[in-house]
Amino acid sequence: MTVTITIAFEAGEGCRDELVDAMIGVIPDTQAFDGCENIRFVESVDQPGSLLLVEDWASIEHYQRYKAWRAESETSVLSKGLVTGTPETQVFNPLL
């Protein structure tokens, strides 16, 4: 069953541009990963540097394999010191 994953995070002080560029650079790998159906990367109009990834995956298992791959390959942009605090991940099931 398809799941939607949201990951909300804040750019660290003075890191917004570098973080956005880094995220845009790795999104093609995410899109190409088995099970990724769609991905959007958006920024708050009211709070620049407040960022959100919205990803649709074929199943939670596909997403978990993707996360494991990012961790193993050490290619997660969110772990490179460009964000402040801890990214907040939520998993949603479609209702419609």
pLDDT, one tens digit per residue, over 11-61 is 999 999 999 999 999 999 999 999 999 999 999 999 999 999 999 999 999
pLDDT of residue 69: 96
pLDDT digits (tens, 9 = 90+) for 68-86: 999 899 888 887 789 999 9
Query: For the chain, how many structural domains are there in total?
Result: 1
Q: What is the CATH number of the domain that holds 83?
A: 3.30.70.100
3-state DSSP of the chain: CCEEEEEEEEECCCCHHHHHHHHHHHHHHHHHCCCEEEEEEEECCCCCCEEEEEEEECCHHHHHHHHHHHHHHCCCHHHCCCEEEEEEEEEECCCC
Domain hosting residue 44, numbered range? 3-92
Cα Rg of the chain, angstroms: 13
